[in-house]
Structure formats: C-alpha cells, structure tokens
Amino acid sequence: MRRILCYGDSNTFGYNPHSYWGDPYPDDVRWTGILQANGWDVINCGQNGREIPSNDGELSAVERLISNAMPVDIVTVLLGTNDFLTHPHFTAEDVTSRMKLLLQRVLAANWEIRVLLIAPPPMRSGEWVPDSRIVTESVRLAPCYRVLARQLGVLFADAGAWDVALDFDGVHFRPEGHAAFARHLMQTLDTLPEPAVKIP
C-alpha cells in the first residue's frame, strides 16, 4: 500500500462549515478518506486555521512530523488560503515566499520522498471572504506556485482546475468538492513519474 502524508489546513482536515462544533465530514466524504478507500495509506495532517509555517519553531515541527511518519512515499502540501485570510494585505508573491521557506526546509532534510505542492482552489466571495482583493490574489497563487515548484524541483498540481465546489463561506470544500478533489488527485498521483533510483 502506498503511504501518503497530507499536510494542510481545514480543507485537508475535512472541516464541515455546517457543523455547529466544527467537526469534519465523515471519512467517506473527505478527500483524504476517499484516497484511503482507494488503496492509499493516508496520514491526514490537516489542521483548521493553519497558515504556511514561517518561523524556525513551526518549520522544525514540520520536520518532526514528517520524520515521525516515515516511511512515506509522498507528501502533499495544500496551504495558502489562511495566509490570505489572516493577512488581507498579502499578495500571491508573499504567500509564495512563505511556501518557499517551507519546501526548502523539507527538501533540506534529504528524505527519500516526493513532494507534491498543490495550489488550493481560488476562493470566491462568501461569508469568510468579503474582500474581492483576496479572491484576486488567491487566483494569482497557482501560477506563482507553479514557478516555485519548477525552481525547487518538486511536483505541482493546480486544484483550481479541478472544479472543486466551495461552500457558502467561499473557502471550504462542499461534499461534491471533496469528491472532485479526490478524483483529480488520484489521477494526478497515478500519472506521477516513478522516483529516480539512487545508485550507490
């Protein structure tokens, strides 16, 4: 069974915005649960409200998280949305600079894992997104992430092209959004090149 660590925010956690207590959707609704049901050994490391780690303590915590989960075949990183929501003045470039620090730290650990950077679906106007500027910058994030992935040599996917339905808040995946995300992610994972074999 292939082992995948999914590092992200509430959309990885599976947050249900209709839940009074902030509970996640059931396993068979969440995209991570759908992956699990389709042959992946999934480590769900989603956390509500998570921004991209940007200081030494936070980055060290990511290193420990991945190290403790080893062996892992691939790590997906789905972050950036909360950075815009918490810092409305941020540009796509600001968020990408944070992501660069995170990915550089992960790559420096020299684990034999593949990293898939996923650009989150752009936000839309909603209860959590009153400012159209945030929507505009979230649309600009995928091209910036694509360039960053190419620079660092990590894998890239743009979930903005996956028709992920968002809920009333303009941020969180609807159940059908989770299904679409899972379907496209599995297609992406199935077509990834095999990792290079290291020759002693």
pLDDT of residue 112: 87
Mean predicted lDDT score pLDDT of the chain:
94
pLDDT of residue 1: 65
State how far the alpha carbon of 41 is from the alpha carbons of 4, 36, 79, 85, 132, in Å: 6, 6, 21, 31, 38
Mean pLDDT over residues 115-124, rounded?
Answer: 97
CA distance 196 to 200: 13
Mean pLDDT over residues 131-151, rounded?
Answer: 97
Token output for 95: 């968020």
Q: Is the pTM of this model over 0.85?
A: yes
CA distance 61 to 37: 29
Mean pLDDT over residues 122-141, rounded?
Answer: 95
169: which DSSP letter? Answer: T
pLDDT of residue 197: 41
Among 186, 123, 119, CA closest to 148: 119
Q: Is the pLDDT of residue 194 over 90?
A: no
Among 53, 59, 36, 4, CA closest to 178: 36
Domain locations in the chain as residue ranges: 2-190
How would residue 95 be classed by pLDDT, with cut points 50, 70 and 90? very high
Q: DSSP per residue over 100-137, as a string?
A: HHHHHHHHHTT-S-EEEEEEPPPP-SBTTB--HHHHHH
Architecture per CATH, domain 2-190, reads as: 3-Layer(aba) Sandwich (3.40)
pLDDT of residue 47: 97
Task: Give 15-70 pLDDT, tens digit per residue.
Answer: 999 998 889 999 999 999 999 999 999 999 999 999 999 999 999 999 999 999 99
How would residue 195 be classed by pLDDT, with cut points 50, 70 and 90? low
Residue spans of beta strands (DSSP E) within the chain = 2-8, 40-46, 74-78, 114-119, 155-158
pLDDT of residue 193: 74
